[in-house]
Amino acid sequence: MSAPTGPLPVPAVVAGLAAHRPVSAVWVNELGGVTFGIGAPRPVEYVKTYPEPLAHLLAAEVDRLRWAIGHAPVPRVLAWGPGWLHTAALPGRSAVDPVFAERPDVAAAAIGTGLRMLHDALPVADCPFGPPPWVGDAPPPADRLVVCHGDACAPNTLIADDATPAGHVDLGELGVADRWADLAIATMSLDWNFGGEGFEAVLLDAYGVAPDPDRIAHYRARWNDEAPAPG
Ligand SMILES: Nc1ncnc2c1ncn2[C@@H]1O[C@H](COP(=O)(O)OP(=O)(O)OP(=O)(O)O)[C@@H](O)[C@H]1O
Ligand SMILES: [Mg+2]
């Protein structure tokens, strides 16, 4: 759930995939998983690693990436195995990259625009994946069913240098659900990542929707029940 503060050991599988190219740890999640970038100055490939007991989560992500890439900018799967997922880099930076710390309004707008593009692009009728497990089995009546990202926290939107959305990563929970399952979490994560108030309105305005306080409260409560920590 944050950028690493120093170098981390490079697992053998990552070193093998890098084949003598530069490797750096770019992200550590709350489950102990580490994502490495391969290549410099910017990574051209990424390897996401998860501790062995959670390896099955990457299999779910592989299925979803392979489906979604036909419709929207998401990472191309190059290879995967037990506990690791090797993808081609999307252009752009995470919305929580330090360059956006000074421009949280730009990041919030790009996250909203990006989620709207994702929801408009992914076809509900063709989607084989159901709602993310954290949504539970008694959601309120849907405002609009879309293919949700499923973990729409700010770091999972990538933003191009011209501040337009570049794509989405971390699609292991993608599936059909009410669009507020994404919007409630995306707006909540602005507080974790940028602090302060006011960016929620920027995000929802960029998405093109008025706030829905009841659905926002519902999905945030389900998320907080199920998720160990923000990502
Ligand atoms: N193919 C890719 N192209 C560009 N950036 C990537 C790619 N894969 C991973 N990243 C970067 O690495 C970070 C971590 O990847 P990802 O979100 O998939 O890992 P995670 O461990 O599931 O994260 P979380 O903490 O949200 O659970 C992303 O936020 C993004 O900055
Ligand atoms: Mg992530």
State residue 230's pLDDT score: 47
Q: Are 191 and 152 in contact (CB under 8 A)?
A: no
pLDDT band, residue 1 (cuts 50/70/90): low
pLDDT band, residue 228 (cuts 50/70/90): low
State residue 231's pLDDT score: 45
Nearest atom in ligand 1 to the alpha carbon of residue 61 is 18
CATH 3.90.1200.10 holds for 93-226: yes
| Class for the domain spanning 12-88 | alpha beta
pLDDT band, residue 195 (cuts 50/70/90): confident
Which of 5, 11, 88, 78 has the alpha carbon at shortest distance from 51? 11
The per-residue pLDDT for range 5-45, each reduced to its tens digit, is 888 899 999 999 999 999 999 999 988 899 999 999 999 99
Q: Are 18 and 49 in contact (CB under 8 A)?
A: no
Here the tokens at position 101 are 């710390």
Percent of all residues in the chain with a pLDDT value above 70, rounded to a whole number: 97
Query: Which residues belong to CATH 3.90.1200.10 in the chain?
Result: 93-226
Lowest mean pLDDT among 48-57, 74-83, 177-186: 48-57
The per-residue pLDDT for range 112-138, each reduced to its tens digit, is 999 999 999 999 999 999 999 999 999
Which of 131, 125, 135, 143 has the alpha carbon at shortest distance from 208? 143
Measured distance CA(47)–CA(38) in Å, rounded: 8
What's the gap in Å between 169 CA and the centre of ligand 1? 6
Query: Which residues belong to CATH 3.30.200.20 in the chain?
Result: 12-88
**Average pLDDT of the residues in 209-217:** 97
What is the sign, positive or negative, of the torsion defined by CA atoms of 15, 20, 25, 27? negative
Check the annotation: does 193 bind a ligand.
Answer: no
The answer on pLDDT for 229 being more than 90 is no
Measured distance CA(228)–CA(231) in Å, rounded: 9
Residues forming beta bridges with residue 190, ordered by sequence position: none
Best residue among 14, 54, 170, 226 to mutate for probing ligand 1's pocket (most ligand atoms within 8 Å of CB) is 170
The answer on pLDDT for 192 being more than 90 is no
pLDDT band, residue 227 (cuts 50/70/90): low
What's the gap in Å between 195 CA and the centre of ligand 2? 19
Which of 46, 43, 48 has the alpha carbon at shortest distance from 33? 48
- Pairing type for strands 45-49 and 84-88 reads antiparallel
Residue nearest to atom 30 of ligand 1 (CA): 94
Residues with CB under 6 A from ligand 1: 1, 26-27, 29, 33, 35, 46, 48, 75, 87, 89-90, 94, 153, 155-156, 158, 169-170, 231
Rounded mean pLDDT of the chain? 94
The per-residue pLDDT for range 151-190, each reduced to its tens digit, is 999 999 999 999 999 999 999 999 999 999 999 999 999 9
pLDDT band, residue 194 (cuts 50/70/90): confident
Report the half-sphere exposure of 63 (CA within 13 A, side-chain side).
12
Check the annotation: does 178 bind a ligand.
Answer: no
